[in-house]
Amino acid sequence: MKIGIVVYSQTEHTYSVAQKLQEKFQEEGKEVEIERIVPEGEVHPGSKDIKFETLPDVEKYDALIFGSPVHAFSLAPAMKAYLEQIPSLQNKKIAAFVTKGLPFNWTGGNKAIDKIKDICQSKGGSIIGTEVVVWNKSRDKKIGDLIRKFSVIF
């Protein structure tokens, strides 16, 4: 099974989680690659018509993990636009995580995860695991939980 970790990250928090996950998967002998979503120019919470410099192709993976920051109480627009342009996620095993700065439940983590779920399901993909990582003092424990959880399901 080939696993693709497809990440959008502006300040490397989300990317660093992807790297830790990749290390763990590699220790376990899993075939795993990280690919980054790179939009063209600056992207703001209200951005529309986002174009991409780098657009990872999901076709070559059997399983996918999408990682994104929370922006403006929801999914970062670049990840939303990326997911929306994927033609199909039929027969893919999918997990997703988001990173965020604010500790409260109403500050976008669950909404961002729900957006990822909705878009993936509309493309025929099934989401089998999700996690929200708040970027505070307790993040290492949460990242450890995420890695343990995802390494069981993949």
Ligand X SMILES: Cc1cc2nc3c(=O)[nH]c(=O)nc-3n(C[C@H](O)[C@H](O)[C@H](O)COP(=O)(O)O)c2cc1C
Q: Which residues bind ligand X (CB under 6 A)?
A: 9-15, 45, 69-73, 99-102, 107-108, 135
Nearest distance from C-beta of residue 113 to ligand X, angstroms: 12
* Strand 52-54, strand 126-134: pairing: unpaired
Count the Cβ atoms, other than its own, within 10 Å of residue 83: 25
Residue 147 CB, nearest approach to ligand X (Å)? 17
Q: Which two tokens stand for residue 131?
A: 């996690």
Smallest separation (angstroms) from ligand X to the CB of 16:
8
User: Smaller CB distance to ligand X: residue 15 or 25?
Assistant: 15
Neighbours of 28 (CB within 10 A): 10
User: Least Å distance between CB 14 and ligand X?
Assistant: 3
Specify whether the CB–CB gap between 100 and 70 falls below 8 A. yes
CA-CA distance, 62 to 67, in Å (whole number)? Answer: 17
Return the number of the residue (43 or 93) whose C-beta is nearest ligand X. Answer: 43
2 vs 141 by CB, closer to ligand X: 141
